[in-house]
């Protein structure tokens, strides 16, 4: 999932539970294309060279800490890295809805469409709340 706020989804797709997330993160980056100079906040699971190089080829600035066992670690923006919790908060908000928290759907399309409905409900709830304030 790629998100730019706690209620706005940019890109989402399902992946098998027995595959690593990094390859699917690269798929999301390829779907998004180039955003020159934008920061890409990623967890340590995405810190591999192929993922970082792909992000840099699209003009994205990867904000990810190196693994502790790296021989040549790099510097990263620690303050910006703290903002990666935006996507985690969106996952937590989605899990408040039973359809998103439990996967009883047999088809991927049905599950993904239910996730979209949940995300629409979250977005509408946020926009209504900001209008009232």
Element (H, E) at 40: strand 39-41
**Overall size of the chain counted in residues:** 133
What confidence score (pLDDT) does residue 26 get?
Answer: 81
Confidence (pTM): 0.66
Q: Is the pLDDT of residue 95 over 80?
A: yes
CATH code that applies to domain 2-132: 3.30.420
> Do strands 9-11 and 2-3 pair parallel, antiparallel, or not at all (unpaired)?
antiparallel
pLDDT at 75 (0 to 100): 85
Q: Can you tell me the mean pLDDT for 8-23?
A: 76
In the chain, domain spans: 2-132
């Amino acid at each position: 999932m790629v998100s730019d706020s706690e209620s706005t989804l940019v890109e989402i797709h399902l992946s098998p539970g027995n595959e690593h997330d990094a390859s699917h993160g690269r798929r999301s980056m390829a779907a998004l294309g180039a955003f020159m100079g934008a920061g890409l906040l990623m967890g340590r699971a995405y810190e591999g060279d192929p993922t970082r190089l792909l992000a840099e080829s699209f003009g994205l600035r990867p904000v990810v800490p190196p693994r502790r066992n790296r021989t040549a670690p790099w510097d990263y923006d620690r303050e910006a890295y703290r903002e990666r919790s935006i996507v985690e908060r969106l996952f937590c908000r989605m899990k408040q809805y039973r359809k998103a928290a439990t996967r009883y759907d047999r088809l991927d399309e049905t599950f993904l469409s239910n996730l979209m409905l949940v995300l629409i409900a979250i977005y509408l709830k946020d926009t209504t709340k900001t209008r009232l304030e």
